[in-house]
Structures are given as C-alpha cells and as structure tokens.
Amino acid sequence: MSTVENASPADDGAPDGAQGIAAQDWATASASPQYRAAVVDLLGALAYGELAAFERLAEDAKLAPTLGDKAELAKMASAEFHHFERLRDRLAAIDAEPTEAMEPFAKGVDDFHRQTAPSDWLEGLVKAYVGDSIASDFYREVATHLDTDTRALVVGVLDDTGHGGFAVEKVRAAIEADPRCGGRLALWARRLMGEALSQAQRVVAERDALSTMLVGGVDGMAAGFDLAAVGEMFTRITKAHTKRMAALGLAA
C-alpha cells in the first residue's frame, strides 16, 4: 500500500505510556485467544489488500502512456507482492492458514476496487496515492494497539512503494498542461476518501475480534479506542488526506 512521506497520522511506535498488549511481544500477547484471532484477521485483511494492490497496479500499467511509466508501475507492483509475501509468511509462522485468513476480506476489497475502477491513467494514479494511503493511515492507527512484533511487521508492509512521489509528479504535470482536469480529479479523490473510510469501518465492524480489540480492548490488556479517540483518529486521517490533496495540486 502506498503512503506519502511524513503524512502518516499515527506514529510508528506504540502510544506514549503503552501498557498491556502494546508493550508485549507476540509470544506473550498471543496467550489471549481473542487477541490472537484479532491479529489473524488483521493480517489476513492486510495480506489480501496487498495482493489486490499488486493485481491492480499490474492492470493499471496497461493504461500507462509511456514505457517508462509502465516499468515504474511494474516495479511498484513487485513491491506490493513482496509485502503480501511477508504477511503470508507471518500468518503461516503463527499457525494460521493464509488463504483462510484472507478469505473473509476478499469480497469487500474486490467490491471496493470494482466500485472505484479508474477510467484513465490519471484517475488510477490518484487512486493509488489517495485511496491506498487512507487505508494505510487506518492500519497505522490500528498498529498502535498491537504487540511489538506484529506492530513492526504492519508498519513495515505499509512503507511507501514509491508510488507517492511518482503520482504527485505525473498528476501535477497533467494539471499544469490542462488545468480543467484538476476539478475532475478533485471530485474523484473526494469519492475515494468516502469509499476508503467506509471500507475500513466495514473491515472492523464485520469481525468481532477486531472490533473488540479496537473498541474497549481485549481481556483488559489492550486499551482500545474510546469514542472520543475514534473521532480523533478519523480527524488525523482526514488531515493527512488534505495534505495529500495539496501535494497533488487538488482542492480537498
């Protein structure tokens, strides 16, 4: 998943004064069956998201106007697949069957990509930069409530694949050449914002273990988000989105 440099709404580490699961390693934290189930869900959702991102970037490469652009997208697709492999291997290492862990999330991710299929090269770039980054911001927020080992993995696979700077350069150049496309792309980005946030909320709401971990905590060990913290989280995600829009030269 693509992210923008210095625009992540959450820190990479645990919250200040982290207690319970956020201060434990996997071996200790996974003693809670509910927490283990939440992590398997989370890694399954991320793994399928990375696999879908690989497929989408490979498909978007067909829209690339030049061979250089096509090669750049192929390189980014390869990075996404490497992220998928890391998540798949981690699931296997904790005795979870990767395909079974991903299966519950396949339809939701596929529906999102079907509903937000780009009509051209520029829309594809904006989607990768804006849409994927919103999802990455959400998972970074979730990562603050994970054990140290899982948190390091999640933050690592959310590293920028290089799509951020590439998208900004291409989109800004296109707007400079034809300012009229700016309005269309701004509307597109706003639609992506709504769809991406809805998908993130569905991921949590539809999985009991994840929702319990994030809202109220697991077995008293994870602090979770209270209602005020949920609002603050989405405020941070929205602010990061606004920064990305400005980087693209678009109105938020």
Q: From the centroid of its chain, how far is CA 149? A: 19
pLDDT for position 16: 47
| Per-residue pLDDT, 50 | 94
Judge contact between 199 and 127, C-beta under 8 A: no
Using alpha carbons, select from 252, 122, 143 the residue that is nearest to residue 193. 252
φ and ψ at residue 216, rounded to 5 degrees: 105, -20
pLDDT tens track for 58-86: 888 888 999 999 999 888 889 999 999 99
Quick: pLDDT tens for 200-211.
777 777 777 777
Domains of the chain, start order: 25-248 (1.20.1260.10)
> Is 131 within 8 Å of 5 (Cβ atoms)?
no
